[in-house]
Structure 1
């Protein structure tokens, strides 16, 4: 391959535009972008109380003291008064949360609200100095191939920035039914969880949440919660401290043999589904006449409904379709319908 007059000539003799033309939208340096967004990125250190207990002290009381462990993660400021977004798994079980700003200042944070099903949490710090919030972007406008700047606190080293692209959209990584992730190839490592993924305008289009890695480190396959999914959850957590979701009281799996719908595998006695007359082995194929493709689709549909409302379920029982009405219950903390 050789560069000739602005054209890249491949070994096979087929010309294509010089690579520089493909990247004409990229700045010569990302330093201005990093400088603009860095003050909104924070490191999070968590002290957790473990289930184990230490050896009893030598005193006569013999009381057991809980052991403490430390974990690290990331987050980003979203309001001047100190609201910070992170992952639920970063702060879950925290006895103490410490936030470190980009300038090295430390603050103790309190939990505002958390939602384990979307893996989103909001914490808050109080600062007498001005804070620099990030701006939400529109993840619905990102395209596969767009540049992305990932930020966070890998291995508790402090704020770091890596560059990559959106590798894919709508990834289902089996980490709960409510989020279809953006896949990134920007290097993300343990400690980056909860950090922001910025577009080239400096807006947050995702929350870095998970990686696929046999080694435990970055292999170029990372996942971010899209901003359009995250922002409404964050707003609800700030307003109410929790996300209240609908519930039927059934366990479900995808329909057998690649069929459509959600197979009922188990049911809680006295649950809304039990009261409505549903049975294990039946397949829910619609909710309020809206088609249900699989078990995750059913979970999302019911969870989006307010408790106390009525829902009409289309049910396939050995080829016979019937419609049953159920009153949606309030979803407990654990997974399930």
Structure 2
């Protein structure tokens, strides 16, 4: 009761502050505003959208849906049956997961998180008006945790317009809108705490961080600006307990929109790469590399056959800008490149020998790039590989130049790496990073061979 009482006090205080702000700044008075206005910058807007969230919330709630994910798994009666039985005594058990989604077109396309719909055998979407529809999965991008669904409704649906997440500013008010547990849409408010937050070891993700309350069930919901525009898809929280504890994170709308357009047009994500390796600069890194810049991306490696190599980017260059976007670190670089497609031109501004230089780079398709570590050349698996072998992940061995295993080169070439030392081969980035950090030590590879057998080899 004491906690509830505290919450009521906070709610009443919040309402009082909001009402007071309205009385002070918005309600017409004789000359009160005239005496206060000169203390504000000319760039500060006192419009209602900066204080009153009702219009933005009203626009958003009808476009946010509840997503139900039905999965089935086989349950065994005992461990011996799991390892040695034929499965005849096992049972199928149904599990139900829930999340949120955002309608992005009047004909029923819905954006949500990949983890909301993962492994689903059946998907159901419930609108804010309580109408329910079966949903079809159009495609997913597990790297950025985005999925695209489609429902066939008997009416034009309210949908949310994409805003420009690049134009979002730290300190700007935002709303988090979700539809958890099929309770119809719920709204919380907060500010943008940070941009370009990198929460993955692979440097592939660049999140908007907010202090708007997001709890389990809100995943896949909308992060909305005060104009009611979609500027992010809420995807995770930072919490030691599993419940909201101060920070939530959203995939920026510009990245989400590009992923969705790719899934609609191509059926998969067209991911272009710049082709550089390196480190984010700070004072210690600048001293280590012998450069004066403490912000930017220091290039210490160029990917073979990439756009960066062909355009003439060199080791020792410091990337400070992509087109007109400032690059302060790796997440700035990846967030911008993730909005681009293969063969697009990006103007890369670098510092070389204390001089600025602008280098146009044509982005390379990620699947065309190979990576070599310790005499083993890797490439991404193709859609046909996935279909042929019935897999969803893996990295293919393209070539072998390591003399210690040259006798087995023909056997290894074309095999698909499923894991290295029990590190799952989700993609080339994961495996090459692990192998580079390990150095020249021998590793155990789990391979799916060309004839379809799974074997473990050490080299």
Query: Which deviations, in whole Å up to 9, do the C-alpha atoms of 1:258-287 show, x marking residues without a partner?
Result: 5655789xxxxxxx97xx9xxxxxxx9x65
Q: Secondary structure at the match of 1:71?
A: strand
Change (3 A) 1:175 1:225: farther
CA contact (8 A) 2:193 2:209 kept: yes
Q: Residue in 1 aligned with 2:59?
A: 36
Match of 2:47 among 6, 14, 25: 25
State whether structure 2 residue 196 is matched by structure 1 residue 173: no
How many residues align? The count is 284
Change (3 A) 1:253 1:87: farther
Q: Residue in 2 aligned with 1:190?
A: 216
Q: Hey, what's the Cα distance between the residues in 2 that align with 1:170 and 1:95?
A: 34
CA contact (8 A) 1:287 1:311 kept: no
Change (3 A) 1:335 1:30: same
Match of 2:250 among 211, 224, 230: 224
Q: Hey, what's the Cα distance between the residues in 1 that align with 2:198 and 2:118?
A: 22
Q: Residue in 1 aligned with 2:134?
A: 108
CA contact (8 A) 1:154 1:188 kept: no
Query: Which deviations, in whole Å up to 9, do the C-alpha atoms of 1:121-153 show, x marking residues without a partner?
Result: 101100112211110000111101111111012
Q: CA deviation at 1:210?
A: 1.1
> Within 5 A, what are the aligned runs for 1:51-200?
52-55=74-77, 62-174=88-200, 177-200=203-226
Q: Residue in 1 aligned with 2:14?
A: none
Q: CA deviation at 1:199?
A: 0.8
Q: Hey, what's the Cα distance between the residues in 2 that align with 1:209 and 1:120?
A: 9
In structure 1, the gaps of 5 or more residues are 7-15, 265-271, 277-283, 316-326
State whether structure 2 residue 365 is matched by structure 1 residue 306: yes
Q: Residue in 2 aligned with 1:335?
A: 427
CA contact (8 A) 1:148 1:165 kept: yes
Q: Hey, what's the Cα distance between the residues in 2 that align with 1:131 and 1:151?
A: 17
Q: CA deviation at 1:24?
A: 3.0
In structure 2, the gaps of 5 or more residues are 1-19, 25-37, 79-86, 289-297, 320-328, 343-362, 383-392, 394-425, 430-459
> TM-score if structure 2 supplies the norm length?
0.53
Q: Residue in 2 aligned with 1:321?
A: none
Q: CA deviation at 1:157?
A: 3.5
CA contact (8 A) 2:110 2:149 kept: yes
CA contact (8 A) 1:76 1:85 kept: yes
Q: Hey, what's the Cα distance between the residues in 2 that align with 1:180 and 1:238?
A: 22
Query: Which deviations, in whole Å up to 9, do the C-alpha atoms of 1:206-244 show, x marking residues without a partner?
Result: 111111011211122111111111111110011222225
Q: Hey, what's the Cα distance between the residues in 1 that align with 2:123 and 2:318?
A: 41
Match of 1:48 among 71, 95, 104: 71
CA contact (8 A) 1:163 1:187 kept: yes
Q: Secondary structure at the match of 1:94?
A: coil
CA contact (8 A) 1:155 1:189 kept: no
Question: Highest relative contact order (Cα 8 Å, sep 6+), 1 or 2?
Answer: 1
- What is the CA RMSD across the aligned residues, in angstroms? 4.1
Which structure's residues are more often helix, by fraction? 2
Query: Which deviations, in whole Å up to 9, do the C-alpha atoms of 1:171-209 show, x marking residues without a partner?
Result: 111175332111111111111111111111111011111
Q: Which protein is bigger by CA-based radius of gyration?
A: 2
Q: CA deviation at 1:40?
A: 0.9
